[in-house]
Structure 1
Amino acid sequence: MPLLPGAEPFAHRGSATGVLLCHGFTGCPQSLRPWAEHLAGQGLTVSLPLLPGHGTRWEDLRLTHWTDWYATVARELRELTARCDRVFVCGLSMGGTLALRLAARHGPAVAGVVVVNPAISLPWWHGYALPVLRHVVPSVRGLVSDIAKGGVRETGYTRVSLHGVHALHGLFAATRADLPRVTQPLLLLRSRVDHIVPAHDSAQVLASVSSTDVAERVLEDSFHVATLDHDAERIFQETDAFLTRLANRATRKTARDGT
């Protein structure tokens, strides 16, 4: 099946610091490619995979489950940890959900987490309606390109499979239960105005994780897909500062342990 323009995975072999980037639901690597390219330009090892059922046509999403999406990023994490001294996981929207679950499930293999507008819930009625509705209504209108910056478009599906939304509901439920297991340093960036994910989701993440090193940044000039919006450069700079601080901390600890 041909890929949509920009949906190709991105990988860069760089230093002993690795970064895994996870894209969002119905999106593709295009939404995170500038972030990935920036990190690669800093000399880091970067992996930005395409999730199963994404980047082709919306009908393909109904053939996958959230466990397939998670298995893909978990595999990438294992490959990065095999060749890097430390690995950070990052994500946008549902990609943030996947990043948090990786942190919860893989513990020391994840050195830190950066999430942008992380999603962790659907409206309560979805849990009652979706199991039946998905067999009656194949799809609904898509939610891509919630971007304030003029002339910028997100590559993704214009229709959303309700089978996919039902799977997404399962991912959210499983990840919410795992949030207390997240102990790694966490940087959370959220848009002041987001037409896709409510601010409550970020608040729930911050209230539920067990991390003691936590920072929240509010993005004033972007909508949901902030990685392609006015605040993209700020996201890149905040990520640089976060990774550098933690890498320096690890270096100092290694030096102390060696004396």
Structure 2
Amino acid sequence: MSTPPAAAPLSLPARPELTGDRPLGVLLLHGFSGSPASMAPWARYLNERGYAVELPLLPGHATRWQDLNTVAWTDWYAEAEAALDRLHATTEAVVVGALSMGGSIALRLAEQRGADVAGLVLVNPFVSSTRKELVALPVMKRLVPATKGVVNDIKKPGQDEVGYPRLPLRGLHEVVKMWRVLVPELSRVTQPLLYFRSAVDHVIDPSSSATVLDAVGSREKEERILTDSYHVATLDNDAPRIFEESADFIARVTAS
């Protein structure tokens, strides 16, 4: 099954007429069962300000939901790492921005590739959960391939993240397996961190906030609450705020 055009990955070169002779890059990562469509407006906004932007399509996404039951979390990480390498081939510094599960991948990149990540911008990152049913995933995934999807938790009408209508359980278990590697090493994250969290989120609970902010080693870390958006805030009413404030953050942390 082919990927819908709206969900295709983006690779946008730096615009030297705006940035001068010091090209800078931004890597953007979408969430679980979503697609690059959720991040494309943010990518274009940053590119219009001169940044090179890589927005990869993570394996198993934007085709059919069954495909997300055939990949491992390490496949998502490898795709993100390859995009980071592409940016570093043409830019001097890279900031990583991410939505939902993409936040876990972004944090893992910061742990593993610390010198290559100048800063992090996370939007409703999915790094932990208080949902008791996740404990049963190793068994559930063998009995039920998927449950009702969690796509398009967006307050603003007319938006579409081009995600799956079903939630693949083998794929979701890979997210949990990633947390087991990621969370114990969060103290290795020392980059400046800007964290956006929606006050109302019907997809994830607030536990990720404390999991991340209490554990990272970043001296500069700030949480900003989004009051007019749900989970996919990058397509929601607060998106302009995310875009503007992230651009200011990126400019500042890459200035030296």
Which residue identity lines up with residue 148 of structure 1 in the other structure?
Answer: K
1:117 corresponds to which residue? 124
| 8 Å contact kept, 1:18–1:84 | yes
| 1:210 aligned residue | 217
Cα contact 2:104–2:179 (8 A) shared by 1:
yes
Q: Give the length in aligned residue pairs.
A: 249
Q: 1:108 aligns with which of 111, 115, 128?
A: 115
2:61 to 46, 51, 54: 54
Residue 6 of structure 1: how far off its partner (Å): 1.2
2:253 equivalent to 1:246 = yes
Q: CA deviation at 1:28?
A: 0.4
* Contact 1:20–1:89 under 8 Å retained in 2: yes
2:174 is aligned, of 140, 145, 167, to 167
In structure 2, stretches of 5+ residues that fail to align are: 17-22
2-structure distance, mates of 1:5, 1:12: 16
| Residue from 104, 118, 136 that aligns with 1:97 | 104
**Contact 2:95 2:117 (C-alpha < 8 Å) held by counterparts:** yes
Aligned-residue Cα RMSD (Å) equals 1.2
Measured in 1, the distance between the counterparts of 2:116 and 2:79 equals: 16
Structure 2 match to 1:18: 25
2:128 counterpart SS class: coil
Asked if 1:196 is matched to 2:206, the reply is: no
The letter for the 1-side match of 2:154 is I
CA distance in 1, matches of 2:167, 2:55: 22
TM-score, structure 2 as length reference = 0.94
Query: What displacement does 1:209 show?
Result: 0.2
User: How many angstroms apart in 2 are the aligned matches of 1:124 and 1:150?
Assistant: 28
Q: TM-score, normalised by structure 1?
A: 0.93
Task: Indicate conservation of the 8 Å contact 2:32/2:101, yes or no.
Answer: yes
User: How big is the shift at 1:5?
Assistant: 4.2
Post-superposition shift, 1:124?
5.5
Are residue 41 (structure 1) and residue 42 (structure 2) matched?
no
1:18 and 1:178 mapped to 2: Cα distance?
Answer: 25
* Partner Cα separation in structure 2 for residue 51 and residue 247 of structure 1: 26
Provide structure 1 residue ranges, at least 5 long, that are not aligned to the other structure.
251-259
How much does 1:130 deviate?
A: 1.2
- Counterpart AA for 1:34: P
Q: Distance in 2 between matches of 1:46 and 1:84?
A: 10
CA offsets per residue over residues 14-46 of structure 1, 9 Å max, x none? Answer: 051000000000000000000000011111100
Alignment of 1:235 onto 2:217: no
| Identity percentage of aligned residues | 48
Question: Residue 135 of structure 1: SS of its match in structure 2?
Answer: helix
The separation in 1 between residues aligned to 2:133 and 2:114, in whole angstroms, is: 31
The letter of the residue matching 1:94 is M
Asked if residue 65 in structure 1 is aligned to residue 96 in structure 2, the reply is no
Distance in 2, matches of 1:42 and 1:219, equals 23
Distance 1:206 1:122 in 2: 15
Once the two structures are TM-superposed, the CA of residue 151 in structure 1 deviates from its matched residue by 2.0
Counterpart-to-counterpart distance in 1, 2:32 and 2:208? 15
Aligned position for 2:157 = 150
| CA displacement, residues 69-124 of structure 1 (integer Å, 9 cap, x when unaligned) | 01100111112112211011110000111111111110111000000001111346
Following superposition, which runs of at least 4 residues in structure 1 exceed 3 angstroms of deviation? 122-128
The equivalent of 1:85 in structure 2 is 92
